[in-house]
Amino acid sequence: MREVYLSNCEKGFLQKVISEGHRLDGRNYNESRKLEISFGSEYGSCIVSLGETKVLAQVSCEVVQPKQIRPNEGILYINVEISPMAAPQFEANRQTDLTVYLNRLLEKCYKDSKCIDLESLCIVVEEKVWSLRVDIKVLNHEGNLIECASIATLASLAHFKRPDVTRSGDKVIIHTLIEKDPIPTVLYHYPVCIAFAIFSNDILVSDPSFIEESVCTSSSEEGGNKGGILVVGMNQYKELCLLDLMGAAIYNSNLVHKALINAADRCKEIVDLVKKSIVNNDTLRQKRVKKNFSDIITTEHMLSLSKRDLSICLKNYNVDDIEMSQDEEMEDDEDQNPEPSKYDVVPSLPQTAEIIAQKGASSWIEISSGSEED
């Protein structure tokens, strides 16, 4: 993995903005990005989008021999893969520290918390059990990978249904989906990992972006940056399943207490959304409506040049000032045709102006060559 370096100007600017109570994308400290969950045509496949961070999860199963220490329990395996598709700094077919970190946190959250009934995956004691494998593919890395991957893991496991099995004597018959209805996975509770960014050891920011994660975990030469990433794993019953800190130590216990309260509220919202999405998907499947990932791919997603490459919200800014200055420039340069800008300044919130990239299809550009003029 190639290191991504930030300049001191970027670090100082972001720390100053955070200390003044603002964020680059205009969110509050406790505000998270938009969460979207889309399911594929097969059981256990889903794409979770948390802002611009996108993760694909797929659950598969096979019959294997159980472990000797637990002969009547199934097996759960979680695999995380980050390729150059997610970000240019990652390398193909090479495991990084971030991959190991995500694997360890997800296994702690879902295996050690005993949220899955592994005994229900047993077919024949000491001989045959079901082995569930969760493959997580990071499609785009724009910050807060652990929360997005956790939601994708939970949604795929709750949506997955394994084939039904019939035992006659020593024979085990695995039925297809046409012969018998599949069996859903039994979940005792729904744990979710919620990530927080800590700045200056007293500011707690939920759902950090990539640049916010990079700044709070980096250490500056002038005294060091007292910050880090705090991951809280909690279920819908407000029970703590995981607590992990990456970066500097926390000197204020009230900061952890505040994170637990915010994580409890956020976890309940996510679990309700996951359950609602699964119920809606099951209803559409009963009506024989074809649902797959092609429904969420639009023309704007297919065109690489039309993606939003800049989004900055400016506080205490008046959009009318922009329009007045543009009118004055047009009066001065009436004969000249200025090049159209690909950014728009639109009012998103009261006293807030947001600079966004214009969305639309790519257009052909006529290029005149010197040989044609000759």
Q: What is the pLDDT of residue 343?
A: 57
Side chain identity, residue 10: E
**Any idea of the CA torsion for 295, 90, 97, 55, to the nearest 10 degrees?**
0
Task: Give which of 62, 72, 229 is closest to 131, Cα–Cα.
Answer: 62
Where are the domains positioned within the chain?
A: 8-192+251-296, 340-374
Residue with tokens 């695999």: 79
CA pair distance 371, 374, nearest whole angstrom? 5
Q: What is the pLDDT of residue 333?
A: 53
pTM assigned to the model: 0.81
The Cα-based distances of 13 to 10, 31, 238 in angstroms read 5, 21, 36
> What does 51-110 look like in DSSP terms, one character per residue?
TTEEEEEEEEEEEEPPPSS-TT--EEEEEEEE-TTT-TTS-TT---HHHHHHHHHHHHHH
List average pLDDT for each run of 10 residues in the chain, which is 374 residues long.
75 87 87 92 92 93 91 92 88 87 92 91 90 94 92 95 87 87 92 91 88 78 66 92 84 87 93 94 87 66 44 55 55 53 60 57 50 46
Half-sphere exposure of residue 166: CA atoms within 13 angstroms, side-chain side: 7
Q: What is the pLDDT of residue 221?
A: 40
Task: Give which of 107, 112, 114, 113 is closest to 77, Cα–Cα.
Answer: 107
CA pair distance 158, 152, nearest whole angstrom? 10
CA pair distance 14, 300, nearest whole angstrom? 30
Half-sphere exposure of residue 96: CA atoms within 13 angstroms, side-chain side: 16
Of the CATH numbers 3.30.230.70, 3.65.10.10, 3.20.20.210, 2.70.160.11, which one belongs to the domain with range 8-192+251-296? 3.30.230.70
Q: What is the pLDDT of residue 262?
A: 93
Task: Give which of 269, 270, 245, 241 is closest to 256, Cα–Cα.
Answer: 245
